[in-house]
Amino acid sequence: MMKVLVLDGVEEEGLKVLRQEPDIELDIRGKMTEDELVEIIGDYDGMIVRSATKVTARVLEKASKLKVVGRAGVGVDNIDITAATTRGILVVNAPGGNTIAAAEHTIAMMMALARNIPQACATLKAGKWDKKSFMGVEVRDKVLGVIGLGRIGSAVAKRAQGLEMKVVAYDPYITEEKATMLGVKLLPLDDLLQQADFITVHLPLSKESKYIIGERAFSLMKDGVRIINCARGGVVDEKALYEALKSGKVAGAALDVFEQEPTTDSPLFELNNVIATPHLGASTSEAQLCVACDVAEEIVAALKGGFVRNTVNIPPISTQALAAVRPYLDLAEKMGRFTAQVISGRVNQIEITYSGDLAKQEVSPITNSILKGFLDNILQEMVNYINAPVLAKNRGIKVIQRQMERNGDYANLVTIRAVSDKDEISVAGTVFGGHDIRIVSIDGYHVDAVPEGHMLYIPHIDKPRIIGPVGNLIGEQNINISGMQVGRKVVGGKAVMILNVDAYVPDETLEKIKKIDGILGVKNVSI
């Protein structure tokens, strides 16, 4: 029975898909402190949080069974992604579930800012009828600058166009074609800052986005610009914003997020031209149900080995793309295992080349499978498809990925070239008929070996009285040889022999094989 811990008041109705799984047990609790989590997290296979609970490196260190952390929402600032990745824990979120809620809140904040609605409401409730103090502006024909044209930014742009606003955007990861489809003009950031009457930010908090709206940005803006931030605290420099509001450079700001949350005493709250809400962007009943449903489905998929769409710490891949590369995942892992066991010395570089139709596919899952297979044999810690690239990097292994046109006789070919301080080897493999995996080349020597079970790798000189003595020594141990492949380039030159055997060949037998005249080495390989 797998256990999933659900925290922070995730919408119960959205957990139906988890409750329907007979081998998954739910444990639903409220917000938990780091110390509380550390005490219990070792019992759980999965975990769902919203924004309140912090999933720290210390928590993850104790999560011995944890396979996946789900964030019921978009932002994952409360989850230590690096620590999760290093420990091979998948992090998923629900980026689409609150898109409409966040976009609508952004538009609502912009309209409230333009017409001073919160201030006017507060004054009226305080017993004062004051029309003159709250002269607003129309949004029609104004320029809205959207910084970040992802799901939410695109939804905001669409709704602003319905208000007859001119929408410009900055997003270095969006193509001109995509922007044209949205009816949005892409601009460099400085140009956007100079042209916009309203600016709304829709970026995750990162090294690149932190304080993207800061002192320099404010200096480029129009006098009287209005700022909306319903994305992440820290994207806007609050100290610089305060000064810009005080000076009149910025006419007003609408904030749903803050650098420190929760907060009730920000200096910004002292200003009459600031309106604020306590991080309500996703706070609709519809959004909370959607994100709960979405993340619950991701948790089930992750725990049961299905396709996971919204991954945070590994590249996502479409169902179609996954189907195209899936036959090569098993081959890749076995090739990685084989390579690790036949190469000598400390590996410092792994070069992976994909040729044929594979060159047109998203091959990162295959690369991760190769690294997993390779590292499984040399590391004591757990290795999986998530942490394999990180572990390789931490060991100083440079991973190079190449894609090229069709290579030789094979419609698709995966080639691994590993380089160590003592050795270098290349191993190539392919899949026949969608399921028949083969190693077809070792260091350029043609073979047709099935990578499974126990194998012997024997480089040797191509001459008589090699194969027979090797077979006799193995037979003396009552070990059957189930398959044999020999590859050579020229008669009498170097050759390689691959044997499939029914059991592990003892070390003493390997030493005897090494003494056969013409044998250059021999290694046990277990796949």
For residue range 339-376, list pLDDT tens digits in order: 999 999 889 999 999 998 888 888 988 999 999 899 98
pLDDT at 248 over 70: yes
For a pLDDT cut of 90, what percent of the chain falls above it?
77
What torsion, rounded to 10 degrees, do the Cα atoms 352, 358, 359, 361 define? -110
Domains within the chain, CATH numbers bracketed? 2-97+286-303 (3.40.50.720), 99-276 (3.40.50.720), 318-452 (3.30.1330.90), 454-520 (3.30.70.260)
- Looking at the predicted structure, is the pLDDT value of residue 49 above 90? yes
Question: What single-letter amino acid sits at 508?
Answer: E
Residues 6+ apart with CB under 8 A from 304: 21
Is the Cβ–Cβ distance between 456 and 499 less than 8 Å?
A: yes
Render pLDDT for 470-491 as a digit per residue (tens, 0 to 9).
999 999 999 999 999 999 999 9
Distance CA(471)–CA(505), nearest Å, equals 12
Percent of the chain topping pLDDT 70: 98
Cα dihedral 205→210→214→216 (10° resolution): -130
Bond before 262 cis per omega within 30 degrees: yes
Question: Which residues are identified as catalytic?
Answer: 232, 261, 279
Determine the pLDDT at residue 14. 92
Determine the pLDDT at residue 263: 93
How far is 124 from 99, CA to CA, in rounded Å? Answer: 33
204 — pLDDT class (breaks 50, 70, 90): confident
Residue 339: CB atoms within 10 Å: 24
| Res 380: pLDDT | 62
| Confidence band for 397, pLDDT divided at 50, 70 and 90 | very high
Instruction: Check residue 176 and give its pLDDT.
Output: 84
Q: What is the mean pLDDT of the chain?
A: 92
The number of residues making up the chain comes to 527
> Which residues, including other chains, have CB under 8 Å from residue 487's CB and lie 6 or more apart?
441, 442, 445, 446, 447, 495, 496, 498
Strands in 46-49's sheet, in edge-to-edge order, are: 24-28, 2-6, 46-49, 68-71, 90-93
Whether 319 has a pLDDT exceeding 70, the answer reads no
**Per-residue pLDDT tens digits for 255-277:** 999 999 999 999 999 999 999 99
Stretch 329-342: mean pLDDT, rounded? 94
| SS3 label, residue 82 | helix
Q: Give the single-character DSSP code of 519.
A: B
Q: Running DSSP on this structure, what letter comes out for residue 55?
A: B
- For residues 20-43, one letter each, b for 16 or more C-beta atoms within 10 angstroms of the residue's C-beta and e for the rest, the string is ebeebebeeeeebeeeebbeebee
Say how many CA atoms lie within 13 Å of 293 toward its Cβ.
10
**What is the mean pLDDT of the segment spanning 122-146?**
96
Distance in angstroms (rounded) separating the CA atoms of residues 131 and 138: 16
pTM, 2 dp: 0.64
**Section 497-511 average pLDDT:** 94
Does pLDDT of 45 surpass 90?
yes
Angle 99-115/117-125 helices, nearest 10 degrees?
70
